[in-house]
Amino acid sequence: MSGDTGLRPATRADLSATPLECAPTLLGAHLVTTIDGERTTLRVTEVEAYHGRGTGDRPDPGSHARMGKTNRNATMWGEPGHLYVYLSHGIHSCVNVVCGPEGLAGGVLLRAGEIVEGADAATRRRLERGGVVRASVDLARGPGRLGDAVGLRHPQHDGIDAITGEPRGGAVARLLLPTALVAGIATGPRVGVAGVAGTDAFPWRMWIAGDPTVSPFRWGRGAREAAQAGPARRTGADAVLD
């Protein structure tokens, strides 16, 4: 079994490796946000890695960075440890931790987590944005809900520094990493990502196996096509690494 690992403040060096390498180290991490004096702590339970051209050993067709630098995704090219906050479907603000060296695009999407402090504030933020809260495990279950719960929004908080904790847009964010890799990390295809390369080439979703706050798997366009050609997958899980 896994003993409780400790936590320590993240450094830029911790996040200067490729997103795929950084992703598992972010499971169990804490993202602490303070907005209008209200503090919320998120324990990260599910992530996805996204590379840019030139990062890692192959191009990533699912990444916002795949077509090069734009106004929207510029934060992905910046220093590691900042947060890339983007608008999804014109509605949801989703949060990535920028990874890899400055000048090379990359990030790890925080897909789900457990609110371990500030559940009242997180609940209110979600309700204010038109969400519904049925159970506390659902507060940050899914990237859109997670963004609402921690209070980070596009565009005002895009690029906020989670290493120094420098305020941006009225918010402060800090990232704490586990001192050891958490046990029971499951891997599988990313959710909702279309792409000609399909599922099997990019099992870049990672989560803490069995954790109730992990978001439900949903077939993406590319994932469905790939699955039809290969073995059936119901849960999206490829493997559990201990």
Pick the closer one to DNA by CB: 16 or 215: 215
Pick the closer one to DNA by CB: 6 or 212: 212
Interaction of residue 47 with DNA, rule CB under 7 A: no
SS (H, E, C) 49-80: EEECCCCCCCCCCCCCCCCCCCCCCHHHHCCC
Residue type, 13: A
Interaction of residue 215 with DNA, rule CB under 7 A: yes
CB of 145 to DNA, least distance (A): 4
CB of 156 to DNA, least distance (A): 12
Nearest Cα to Cα of residue 44 among 165, 208, 242, 174: 208
**Degrees, nearest 5: CA angle 221-85-128:** 95
Interaction of residue 50 with DNA, rule CB under 7 A: yes
User: Could you tell me which stretch among 4-12, 36-44, 161-169, 213-221 binds DNA (CB under 7 A)?
Assistant: 213-221
Cα 25 from Cα 59, distance rounded (Å): 22
CA atoms within 13 A on the CB side of 2: 16
Interaction of residue 228 with DNA, rule CB under 7 A: no
Task: Choose, by CB under 7 A, the member of 22, 27, 30, 48 that binds DNA.
Answer: 48
DSSP-assigned letters across all residues of 94-105: EEEEE-SSTTS-
Pick the closer one to DNA by CB: 6 or 103: 103
Interaction of residue 191 with DNA, rule CB under 7 A: yes
User: Could you tell me which stretch among 4-12, 30-38, 92-100, 158-166 binds DNA (CB under 7 A)?
Assistant: 92-100
Residue ranges of the alpha helices (H) in 1-47? 19-26
Q: Tokens in use for 86? A: 């983007």
Binding mask 127-166 for DNA (x = CB under 7 A): ---xxx--------xxxxxx--------------------
Interaction of residue 55 with DNA, rule CB under 7 A: no
Interaction of residue 87 with DNA, rule CB under 7 A: yes
Interaction of residue 43 with DNA, rule CB under 7 A: no
Cα–Cα distances in angstroms (integers) from residue 209 to residues 114, 131, 162, 173, 229, in the given order: 14, 26, 26, 27, 26
Contact predicate 42/116, CB 8 Å: yes
**Where on the chain is the footprint of DNA (CB under 7 A)?**
48, 50, 62-65, 67-68, 70-73, 76, 84, 86-92, 94, 96, 107, 109, 126, 130-132, 141-146, 190-194, 215, 218, 220-221
